[in-house]
């Protein structure tokens, strides 16, 4: 089975820097305050794995998890 990735934003840590939305717009959404959450259930479509890791490694609040399933 191929490895699937899932992203998750910890809403208690997110402060709305919006780096994830800029770097991986397919994987994250912003609410009316500009705070981020994962799009859908966070499943990373094939081909977007790099963007998931990029978003994680640019979050100043260390709010993003990339889960390998």
Residues that bind other proteins (CB under 8 A): 15-18, 21-22, 30, 32-34, 54, 57-62
Burial of 36 (0-12, 13-18, 19+ CB in 10 A): buried
Closer Cβ to other proteins, 43 or 53, answer by number? 53
In whole angstroms, the minimum distance from the beta carbon of 39 to other proteins comes to 15
Compare residues 21 and 42 and give the one whose CB is closer to other proteins. 21
Cβ proximity of 17 and 64 under 8 Å:
no
Nearer to other proteins, 18 or 45 (CB): 18
Strand 64-68 and strand 28-30: pairing? Answer: unpaired
């Amino acid at each position: 089975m191929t490895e699937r990735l899932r992203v998750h934003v910890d809403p208690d840590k997110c402060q709305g820097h919006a780096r994830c939305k800029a770097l991986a717009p397919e994987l994250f959404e912003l609410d009316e305050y500009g705070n981020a959450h994962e799009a859908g259930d966070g499943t990373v479509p094939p081909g977007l794995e790099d963007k998931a890791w990029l978003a994680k490694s640019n979050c100043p609040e260390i709010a993003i998890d990339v889960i390998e399933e």
